[in-house]
Amino acid sequence: MISISVRQIEVLVAIASAGSVRAAAERLSVTQPAVSMALAELERLLGGQLFDRERGRLHLSRRGKEVLPMAQEIIERLEELMRQTQDAQHTLTGELRLGASNTVGNYLVGDLLGPFVSRHPQVSLNVSVENTARIIDGLVNHSLDVGCIEGPANHPQLETIPWRDDALVVCAAVSHPLARPQALKPRHFKDAQWILREPGSAMRVQAEQALAVLPAGHIVLELGQVEAIKQAVIAGLGIACLPRAAAQDSVAAGRLAILDTPFLDLRRRLSLVLHKSRYRGVLIDAFIRSVLPPAPENVAAAPG
């Protein structure tokens, strides 16, 4: 006989998402002792500790990481069952936790979220703007449902789905010597002063790859936000690789120049990333369908 209750499973999912018993209790509208008791009983039934405590927060244990995807699937399947029972129109509700890279979260968020929000306005979207490394950690630790990143996610537990092509551009202040009309060559970048993203970002990795094929320069500044890098470039502090979407407005305003660098490969691909073991309920499926173009239909060949 199965002794695990739906409430105990809800408690596991809520603590994993919120990070503490107090926050989970608020989310579930129950008392903290009730949450603690439900967790203790679930751990007893499953024969192992599901969370480790670190600096006042609860983090999934190894056993917890194994159990959580199954618990999430149970909750989501029950929600889908209730939705189909109560609402003939299948109106989507619930929460979707998204991690967006700096470029996507600040400059392409309308393209990413717009179609989904217009079709499913009753779904709550919780969007975290982080660098690629943090988004990967969030997906692996199940604190995020879907990520949208600028580079590859080289992690065995994650699946990558291509979204759209993109590119970086090398930018300088309009008064910078490299912005003068000229046919730029790699040699012109000798001793250039560069402004880069922080380590752990896909943009940093791609910029370093570009720098590797140029004469030696100097990294004068590291910043954690694309907009901060752009403002530093406009102020004449150095040059930088920036997303084209981030540079366009300032270029149009005459405050920033895009340098012509055909000798650099700055192409990249933006991708959706999901945990392989994460159950893809109707919310995640609906979000992926809203972002990706529809698959082409098979058209039978016309008779000859």
Condensed to tens digits (0 to 9), the pLDDT of residues 244-261 reads 999 999 999 999 999 999
> Between vectors from CA 272 to CA 208 and to CA 132, what angle results, nearest 5°?
35
- The arithmetic mean of pLDDT across residues 43-60, rounded, is 88
The pLDDT confidence band at residue 57, using thresholds 50, 70 and 90, is: confident
Please tell me the predicted confidence (pLDDT) of residue 302: 46
> Between vectors from CA 199 to CA 195 and to CA 200, what angle results, nearest 5°?
135
Which residues lie across from 124 on neighbouring strands?
95
Q: What are phi and psi of 43, to 5 degrees?
A: -65, -35
Question: Where are the alpha helices (H) located in 47-182, listed in sequence order?
Answer: 62-86, 102-107, 109-119, 132-140
Mean pLDDT, the chain, rounded, equals 89
Please tell me the predicted confidence (pLDDT) of residue 141: 83
Please tell me the predicted confidence (pLDDT) of residue 207: 92
Please tell me the predicted confidence (pLDDT) of residue 259: 97
Nearest by Cα to 272 from 112, 124, 106, 131 = 112
Q: In this structure, is the dihedral angle defined by the CA atoms of residues 208, 211, 213 and 217, taken in order, positive or negative?
A: negative
Domains of the chain: 6-85 (1.10.10.10), 94-164+269-291 (3.40.190.10), 167-266 (3.40.190.10)
Please tell me the predicted confidence (pLDDT) of residue 167: 93
- Are the C-beta atoms of residues 137 and 59 closer than 8 Å to each other? no
For 258-283, write each residue's pLDDT tens digit.
999 999 999 999 999 999 988 888 88
Please tell me the predicted confidence (pLDDT) of residue 279: 83
Q: Is the pLDDT of residue 184 over 60?
A: yes
Taking every pair of Cα atoms in the chain, the longest distance, rounded to a whole number of angstroms, is: 78
Please tell me the predicted confidence (pLDDT) of residue 301: 47
Please tell me the predicted confidence (pLDDT) of residue 18: 85
- The proportion of the chain whose per-residue pLDDT surpasses 90, expressed as a percent, equals 67
- The arithmetic mean of pLDDT across residues 211-238, rounded, is 95
Amino acid occupying residue 245:
A
For 120-152, write each residue's pLDDT tens digit.
999 999 999 998 889 999 998 888 999 999 877
Burial class from Cβ neighbours inside 10 Å (0-12, 13-18, 19+) for residue 165 reads exposed
- 46-64 as b/e: b if 16+ CB within 10 A: beeebbeeeeeebbbeeeb
For the chain, what is the total number of helices (H) and then of strands (E)?
A: 11, 11
Q: How far apart are CA 118 and CA 113, in angstroms?
A: 9
Measured distance between the N- and C-terminal CA atoms of the chain, rounded to whole angstroms: 64
- The proportion of the chain whose per-residue pLDDT surpasses 70, expressed as a percent, equals 93
Q: How far apart are CA 29 and CA 25, in angstroms?
A: 6
Q: Is the pLDDT of residue 49 over 90?
A: yes
Q: What are phi and psi of 54, to 5 degrees?
A: -145, 120
Please tell me the predicted confidence (pLDDT) of residue 148: 96
Give the best-scoring range by mean pLDDT among 16-30, 60-74, 133-147, 225-239: 225-239
Please tell me the predicted confidence (pLDDT) of residue 85: 64
Burial class from Cβ neighbours inside 10 Å (0-12, 13-18, 19+) for residue 130 reads buried
Q: Which two structure tokens, joined as six digits, stand for 30?
A: 């129950």
The pLDDT confidence band at residue 82, using thresholds 50, 70 and 90, is: confident
Question: Where are the alpha helices (H) located in 87-201, listed in sequence order?
Answer: 102-107, 109-119, 132-140
Angle of helix 21-28 relative to helix 32-46, nearest 10 degrees? 110
Please tell me the predicted confidence (pLDDT) of residue 270: 94
Please tell me the predicted confidence (pLDDT) of residue 108: 93
Q: How far apart are CA 73 and CA 63, in angstroms?
A: 16
The pLDDT confidence band at residue 295, using thresholds 50, 70 and 90, is: low
> Between vectors from CA 99 to CA 97 and to CA 102, what angle results, nearest 5°?
150
